[in-house]
Amino acid sequence: MKTLICTTPHQFDYADTPVPVAGPGETLLKIERIGICGTDLHAYEGTQPYFSYPRILGHELAATIVTTDAAGFSTGDIVTFIPYFNCGTCIACRNGKPNCCTAIKVCGVHVDGGMREYLIVPSYALVHGEGLSVEELALVEPLAIGAHGIRRAVVTQDEFVLVIGAGPIGLGTMEFARIAGAKVIAMDINDARLDFCHTNLKVHDTINPATENATEKLQAITNGDMPTVVIDATGNLKAINNAFQYMGHGGRYVLIGLQKADISFSHPEFHKREATLMSSRNATRQDFEHVIASMKNRLVNPANYITHRVHFDEVKSNFESWLNPATGVIKAMVSF
């Protein structure tokens, strides 16, 4: 089968590899669609934490079951899957947090992913397609990341939620903040992305901190209160550190974005707010089900996200361009 391997940063190579054979507790999938995510881009750039080369990238996918022993699933079913493979026995797994398992293996990061024609996954990871299209199913995982962050923040009706970063994960986070009833504020330094948020996602307000005084505008929007939920979806150290000042008293700051360095902030400023700082890692089955239900109920329009489509044979020649914001890429979708 044809396989695309990221051999080193900034280098892809196509290779012919054997079709794998599923064993007990495993399912063989034929890949139909796979989305390009920030993790893939960072791996290609050489900036992805917890990563080693060579690696087959890709974990946002829709597939057809070839063989399976999973109860309730059959050959020919169109499915997606939860790409965070967990041990099932550690403290996190025992407490219902398999998304941060101590021995987690994320498909396409710690173990080889879906940039190939066939992939074996643990049968427990399968998620029913529920009649969604293959392109819709390939968007479930990135949207679930945002849905999980909103659930971590316990967002309530009419609460001001500031989402920093209008990439695919940030956009999904905004969607599920809106679905939770929040007044969403989008922050990004790309005006085109902010226009997209306003036009397509109906966000409450937008801020470009490169051209506007972000603190003053947030004060004006929130009547001086400042947002009670701040979510970083940039993974940019400067943006993460700056955002502590945007949080209202009693607020929660959720880090969905990830970077390699240490964060720093004023302890007195953080303390006087009795603020809460938390990370949001991956997603759970509950989040996947919430995303699928939201798609089926037309609360989320998947067509908003896919801006570029390529065949698997064209990924290597196009990938570098997706690093350039000028291309306007939000989500590139690969077909097989």
For 8-34, write each residue's pLDDT tens digit. 999 999 999 999 999 999 999 999 999
Cβ-contact 201, 218 below 8 angstroms = no
Confidence category of residue 47, pLDDT binned at 50, 70, 90: confident
**Which helix H or strand E contains 152, and what residues bound it?**
helix 140-153
Lookup: tokens for 248: 């209202």
Lookup: tokens for 14: 């196509």
The residue-averaged pLDDT of 305-317 equals 96
Q: How far is CA 69 from the centre of its chain?
A: 28
Confidence category of residue 188, pLDDT binned at 50, 70, 90: very high
Q: What share of the chain is helix, strand, coil (3-state, %, to 5)?
A: 35, 25, 40
Lookup: tokens for 138: 């390939």
pLDDT value, residue 48: 81
**Residue ranges of the chain assigned to CATH 3.90.180.10:** 2-139+305-335
CATH topology of domain 145-279: Rossmann fold (3.40.50)
> What is the distance between the alpha carbons of residues 246 and 225, in angstroms, rounded to a whole number?
10
pLDDT value, residue 303: 86
Confidence category of residue 38, pLDDT binned at 50, 70, 90: confident
pLDDT digits (tens, 9 = 90+) for 235-287: 999 999 999 999 999 999 999 998 888 999 999 999 999 999 999 999 999 99
Comparing 186 with 325, the larger pLDDT belongs to 186
Mode of pairing for the β-strands spanning 160-164 and 306-311: unpaired
**Residue ranges of the chain assigned to CATH 3.40.50.720:** 145-279
> What is the distance between the alpha carbons of residues 18 and 130, in angstroms, rounded to a whole number?
31
Confidence category of residue 136, pLDDT binned at 50, 70, 90: very high
pLDDT value, residue 137: 98
Q: Is 303 exposed, middle or buried (0-12, 13-18, 19+ CB in 10 A)?
A: exposed
132 Cβ neighbours under 8 A, 6+ residues apart: 140, 292, 295, 296
pLDDT value, residue 204: 86
Mode of pairing for the β-strands spanning 205-207 and 229-232: unpaired
Please tell me the pTM assigned to this model: 0.94
**pLDDT exceeds 90 at position 101:** yes
| H-type alpha helices, 33-139 | 38-45, 91-94, 134-138
CA contacts within 13 A on the Cβ side of 98: 16
Confidence category of residue 49, pLDDT binned at 50, 70, 90: confident
Q: Which of 175, 203, 151 is nearest to 300 (CA)?
A: 175
The residue-averaged pLDDT of 293-314 equals 95
Using a pLDDT cut of 90, give the percent of the chain over it. Answer: 93
Please state, rounded to an integer, the average pLDDT across all residues of the chain.
Answer: 96
Amino acid at 159: E
Query: CATH for 2-139+305-335, among 3.50.50.60, 3.30.9.10, 3.40.190.80, 3.90.180.10?
Result: 3.90.180.10
> What is the distance between the alpha carbons of residues 150 and 144, in angstroms, rounded to a whole number?
10
> What is the distance between the alpha carbons of residues 287 and 278, in angstroms, rounded to a whole number?
18
pLDDT value, residue 11: 95
